Amino acid sequence: MLGRAPYTTESDNKGPFLTARRADVAVVGGGPIGLAVAWRAASRGMRVLLHDPDPGSGAAGVAAGMLAPVAEASFGEEELTRLLLDSAARWPDFATEVAAAAGLADSAELGYRTEGTLVVGRTADDLAEARRLWSYQQGLGLPITALNATELHDREPLLAPRVRGGAHAPDDHQVDPRRLVTALRTAAETAGVVFVPSTVRGLDELDAGTVVVAAGCGAAELTGLPIRPVKGQILRLRAPGGEAPGFRHVIRGYADGRSVYLVPRHDGEVVVGATVEERGDTTVTAGGVRDLLHAATELVPELAEYELVEAVAGQRPGTPDNAPLIGPLAGHPHVVVATGHYRHGILLTPVTADLVVDLLESGVPDPVLAPFAPDRFGGHRSAPAKPGLAGPGSGRPELTEPGFADPELALPGPARAGRATSGPVREEIR
């Protein structure tokens, strides 16, 4: 590859002799996606570096951790819904494997819970809006059951009496993103991933067989892809006396036209989220907190007595169609993108990691990734004008079209042996 500087980082003086042998994979970004890719890749024998000045400090720390493909299924997003369901199906095994690799007793230590989600509406208008979505979801064959007010309050007596109805999505689970990130770091370290605490300013800084860009909103500058920050504010409440919250299900509600979710954790925490704001700052605002608290206490009045422990804002990486960008970066054959997960980063972590690592191994993107090709919006191919990257004139092949079926255009993988990549993905899609 042209013009790359020798690999030098802080790790040179204390870790393995990084300059002596080139890494197979350099992952940029230490959120759950980057950590999971790094862990999975190292577990398959690849030599992996992970670059992040502060792993886990990004959007994951502000995520609620709902694993909710059913309740999140929206009109016109069938392909995304399939990917969400695919990843949800992988979550039980993924959670078990992460926990084991991190030395935890079981996936419950990640805050992984399977009580399911209640989708509720407070006013008749709220309920009507929710019902349209349930019908759509049921039409897709998703497991969601309408509940009348009595059934709803039997399941969760703390719901406000005025909550008129709802539905139960038994397969919409949850995990604690902060625990997940901590466990993934341990798992990755144990598997041999070398953490490089530096900020990557350009992909040409990196000398590795393949670069995986899992840098969230930061991927925009590194790749030129159309990723925009979508601000989200969340709250963390805590039940009085250190007890567990008085409700067990994740509750997704519509209150006065606003959407809110309440995620109860065994340790007493309740996450209340999230605002969706088309802006790039991370300021916690009086109006954002007011709206979340208002909607939350309208649905579960008892929450008014809970301690407000934290209010925090983060940036989700959004894309023009709000679906992720996963696959080779067109024009840069040694670069794979795994970002743009918007509101679905935690849920999509297992499938993203599996498909990316399969791609690293085989060099061939799974066809299931076709709708999520990073270059599907066009016009952004040459944006990262950094020298030294493969691309036009570099003498290396580039992907000029999505072309997932053509192995000639595939990535050269550092370790092509390995399992087939397509079977489990498609079989798990309902």
15 binds a second copy (CB under 8 A): no
Shortest Cβ distance from residue 255 to a second copy (Å)?
Answer: 13
Question: Should residue 257 be labelled a site residue for a second copy when binding is judged by CB under 8 A?
Answer: no
- Least distance between a second copy and beta carbon 78 (Å): 36
Binding mask 199-238 for a second copy (x = CB under 8 A): ------------------------------------x-x-
- Examine residue 297 and tell whether it contacts a second copy (CB under 8 A): yes
Residue 285 touches a second copy, criterion: CB under 8 A:
yes
Residue 311 binds a second copy, judged by CB under 8 A: yes
> Least distance to a second copy from the beta carbon of 409, Å?
48
Q: Is 293 in the site for a second copy (CB under 8 A)?
A: yes
Q: 325 - beta bridge partners?
A: 339
Closest to a second copy by CB, 124 vs 312, is 312
Quick check: helix, strand or coil at residue 150? helix
Q: Which is nearer to a second copy, 140 or 311 (CB)?
A: 311
Q: State the minimum distance, in angstroms, from the CB of residue 290 to a second copy.
A: 4
- 305 scored as a contact of a second copy (CB under 8 A): yes
Cβ-based neighbours of 25, under 8 Å, separated by 6 or more: 37, 38, 41, 46, 47, 48, 49, 208, 209, 210, 211, 212, 360, 414
| Buried/exposed code over 295-318 (b: 16+ C-beta within 10 A; e: otherwise) | bbbbbbebbeebeeeebebbbbbb
Does residue 312 touch a second copy according to CB under 8 A? Answer: no
Binding flag, residue 287, a second copy (CB under 8 A):
yes
CB 312, min distance to a second copy, A: 11
Classify residue 106 by its DSSP letter. S
Q: What is the smallest separation between the CB atom of 305 and a second copy, expressed in angstroms?
A: 6
The span from the CA of 374 to the CA of 223, in Å, is 10
Region from 34-42, 187-195, 293-301, 378-386 binding a second copy, contact rule CB under 8 A: 293-301
Long-range contacts of 255-260 (CB under 8 A, 24+ apart): 255/122, 255/123, 255/126, 255/294, 255/295, 255/298, 255/299, 256/122, 256/123, 256/126, 256/294, 256/295, 256/298, 257/125, 257/126, 257/129, 258/291, 258/295, 259/295, 260/292, 260/295, 260/296, 260/299
Q: What is the dihedral of CA 249, 253, 259, 261, to 10 degrees?
A: -20
CB of 291 to a second copy, least distance (A): 9
| Closest distance of CB 283 from a second copy, Å | 5
Answer for the pair 33, 341: CB distance below 8 angstroms, yes or no. Answer: yes
Q: Which two tokens stand for residue 97?
A: 């494997």
Q: Which of 23, 38, 212, 303 binds a second copy (CB under 8 A)?
A: 303
Binding-site size, a second copy (CB under 8 A): 21
**Binding residues vs a second copy (CB under 8 A):** 235, 237, 240, 283-287, 289-290, 293-294, 296-297, 303-308, 311
